[in-house]
Amino acid sequence: MLPLVLSAAVATVVPFPRRQPNAGLPDEDARDSLLQPLCPPNDRDLVEQALAGRTSALSTLYERHAPRIHGRIARLLGRASDAEDVLHETFIEAFRDLSKLREPDRFGAWLERIAVHRTHRRFRYRRLLERLGFESTARDLSLEALALRGDPELGLELRRVDEALSRLPAELHIAWKLRAIEGLELSEVAERCGCSLATAKRRIERAQRVVRNTVGVAFPEPLS
């Protein structure tokens, strides 16, 4: 008896939600988002919705991928302000060229490829500015700064690695970091860098050789 009374009271106080036109919902996007199923949509669905003109899909795509992309860019570039700029450029380019994406369910990988390309461009731009003295060489997110606290020896090694990498061409630098730091497979490195597998291997090997010879430290594991 008591459960029946309680459920009746709850039903009186909290009315059953009914769909009414424009009943307190701000706009179409918000209404659509409320009506979406609880199971999160995959990237393919989101891309299709975005192409159909739904802004909320773009926003969801951004929220899903931006933190990972930002972390990756920041580790590649070593500077927070640059990473933020590149993140912005990456998503502008991605959303602008969304209709050119052939495999919507591989949106994440496509996005990373754009990010790596933008990072490469930023490296070259930064080198030019540094050469002219308009850019500081300081990195607030250098590998040393990111090393886990309490291990000064590792920090020292990472600083020497960073110094060696900073003298390398951008494409070698990026390929090595994608492999050695991010832990991507060789085929993934090749795809992100937009080059062949052999070229990716060669770049990583060259960078690894410089790190080993110049700094005197190396991974025990083979990278390429």
Partner 1 sequence: MNQPSKLRFPLRSALEEIPSRDAVLRVQGRLFERAGELHTKRSRLIRTFLLSTAAAALVVGTLLLGAVWSPFDSTGRRTEAGALLTEDGSEFKRLQSESAPASVRLADGSVLRAAPGTRVVGLGSTATEFVVLLERGAVDIWVTPGGPRRFRIEAKWARIEVVGTEFRVTRKEHGAEVFVREGRVLVYSPTLKDGVAALGPGEHLEVGENAPSPPLGFSAPQESGPFAEPTLVLPPPLHDDSNAGPVSAFRVESKGPAPPMPSSISQNAFVIATETFATLRDQADRARVARDHARAESLYREILARFPHDPRLGSVRYALALACLEQPGGAARAREALLSLLLARPAKSLEEDTLVRLIELEASLGLPAESARHRQLYLEKFPTGRHRARLDLP
Binding site for partner 1 (CB under 8 A): 50-51, 53, 55, 58-59, 62-63, 66-67, 70-71, 74-75, 80-81, 83-84, 87-88, 91-92, 95, 98, 131-134, 138, 140-141, 143, 146-149, 151, 153-154, 157-158, 161, 180-183, 212-213, 216-221, 223
> What is the rounded CA–CA span in Å between residue 76 and residue 120?
9
d(CA 151, CA 139): 20
Considering the complex, state which of residue 18 and residue 149 has its C-beta at the smaller distance from partner 1.
Answer: 149
Contact 118, 200 (CB under 8 A): no
Rounded to whole angstroms, how far apart are CA atoms 123 and 129? Answer: 10
Provide φ and ψ at 150, rounded to 5°.
90, 5
136 vs 196 by CB, closer to partner 1: 136
CB of 81 to partner 1, least distance (A): 4
Of 83, 29, 79, 88, nearest to 56 by C-alpha is 29
Q: CB of 1: closest distance to partner 1 in angstroms?
A: 51
User: 48 or 105: whose CB is closer to partner 1?
Assistant: 48
d(CA 93, CA 97): 6
Q: Which is nearer to partner 1, 38 or 52 (CB)?
A: 52
Q: How far is the CB of 120 from partner 1 (least distance, A)?
A: 19
To the nearest whole angstrom, how small is the minimum distance from the Cβ of residue 172 to partner 1? 16
Closest CB to partner 1 among residues 29, 194? 29
CB 45 to partner 1: min, Å: 16
Q: Please give the structure tokens belonging to residue 123.
A: 């490296």
Using DSSP, state whether 190 is helix, strand or coil.
helix
DSSP, res 214: I
DSSP-derived letter for residue 131 is: H
CA dist., res. 168 & res. 133, Å (int): 19
Cβ closer to partner 1: 75 or 113?
Answer: 75
Distance CA 98, CA 145 (A): 36
Q: How far is the CB of 71 from partner 1 (least distance, A)?
A: 5
